[in-house]
Structure 1
């Protein structure tokens, strides 16, 4: 079950629910800044602006001119020039002298690598994800909750995967993805309501459950069953089942899921088989988390 749970709330499509990447959270965070941080004397505005510059690049904007960067990052030309020069010197941006455009440098990957290497849950979960991948012959994922979204931090892709554009770092809304729902089910309802209030609740397909009360009711069922299951909610043809990973304090640490295409799905029989494998793996990882 590939991690198909679509694009992100920011781009409504009928593609995979766990499968269409969204811009890094840093993009919105860097543009708006942290409201508490902005008012603090400890907040460094130049750092925020540098991150803003890096955040304007994405799949649709791979190369940008200085003028475009200034407009997208909401900086004047002088500031944009200083920041792009500094970031290029630090090898975080590359400059095409002929085209007079900038693009992200491969060195940007260092930050993602450092996060994954330092994340204990990734190391704990990886052997179990590998086993699940072999057992199910489907795509298996490890995700974390970050704000209102889930972020993919480990992924074993099946040869049957429908959405190869989902990679480590992809973000999807929590409220309508199997992994997101599994994580939300381990939180108190008050916390869930706060997350839903901050979410852009939209129907990605006619099957998407997006009303807050309906989501809360759904979480009750997930708690009883011990796993979350979604079908055709991010895009038609995507099916995913997930369980939450909890720490010794009972708080959710993340979720693992198996994603499958409709063409390979055998209904209730597959749901029970996959759920049983996930529940066993989830308990094993949680006991070590």
Structure 2
């Protein structure tokens, strides 16, 4: 089963920019590389694993890991074996969420939307070729991973993602589809660039995107973009339901107008 809760950014580390930027602090960047080593970890990482994933020698990884442990941003794993992210990272997550203007404005709107639709309602923020979940208001069917903020999903095969793509110029959409891996998450995932562009055009015309079975089997989702200005999407709201309970036609007819209304309310408040 493919991992569906973290889509990586498409921009690799820009080493030339690091070397040519007098304000760039390489030690700070290396600390972030160590924290990023846990992106796809399934458990505690050894020092050697951290060094390999962070792209540095073991000695440098040891110094940075020790520093982050002293500061509370890393901790030892069970039985004092390996390393895990530290709980103080949650302080920084709270700072992101409480200070982000989109999250601030969206929270009361999405709480009301969740009461009305009684299905999963999410807010995600735009980052390169992916969306990162910032708010998750769950229905009765959710799993552990589906309840956590910080998960990220690709733009090309998700409802919120296609809604964001529909708010971008076609040239930028084509660039994203060329750079991002078009991975098939289910047997229904569209991976042909022209077919995806056609669905993006539909979303642009309709004011929302709808996706069934492409990212999660048995799920139908509607996404509406949130944009401060034309061509500059900030993120999207999503409403997701089960195809065991909804037909595509009924879900679109009931949910799409409510999702559009909610997105408009958020946009107008920014």
Q: TM-score, normalised by structure 1?
A: 0.85
In the other structure, the counterpart of 2:257 is 276
Q: Compared with structure 1, are the counterparts of its residues 34 and 196 closer, same or farther at alpha carbon in structure 2 (3 Å cutoff)? A: farther
- The question of whether the paired residues in 1 share the 8 Å contact of 2:114 and 2:120 is answered with yes
Q: How many residues align?
A: 269
Are residue 139 (structure 1) and residue 120 (structure 2) matched? yes
Structure scoring higher RCO (CA < 8 A, sep ≥ 6) equals: 1
- CA shift for structure 1 position 245: 1.3
Q: Compared with structure 1, are the counterparts of its residues 220 and 21 closer, same or farther at alpha carbon in structure 2 (3 Å cutoff)? A: same
Of residues 224, 232, 239 in structure 2, which corresponds to 1:258? 239
In the other structure, the counterpart of 1:9 is none
Of residues 124, 127, 134 in structure 2, which corresponds to 1:153? 134
- CA shift for structure 1 position 120: 0.5
- The question of whether the paired residues in 2 share the 8 Å contact of 1:148 and 1:174 is answered with yes
- CA shift for structure 1 position 148: 0.6
- The question of whether the paired residues in 2 share the 8 Å contact of 1:228 and 1:242 is answered with yes
Per-residue CA deviation, residues 81-136 of structure 1 (Å, 9 max, x unaligned), is: 21111111111111359634222110011121111111011111111111111111
Distance 1:79 1:173 in 2: 33
Distance 1:178 1:198 in 2: 19
Distance 1:115 1:208 in 2: 32
Are residue 116 (structure 1) and residue 116 (structure 2) matched? no
- The question of whether the paired residues in 2 share the 8 Å contact of 1:245 and 1:255 is answered with yes
In the other structure, the counterpart of 2:188 is 207
1:107-256 mapped onto 2 (5 Å cutoff): 107-161=88-142, 163-166=143-146, 167-248=148-229, 251-256=232-237
Distance 2:88 2:8 in 1: 16
Question: Which segments of 5 or more consecutive residues in structure 2 lack a partner in the other structure?
Answer: none
Distance 2:154 2:160 in 1: 10
SS at match of 1:32: coil
Q: TM-score, normalised by structure 2?
A: 0.91
Q: Compared with structure 1, are the counterparts of its residues 106 and 136 closer, same or farther at alpha carbon in structure 2 (3 Å cutoff)? A: same
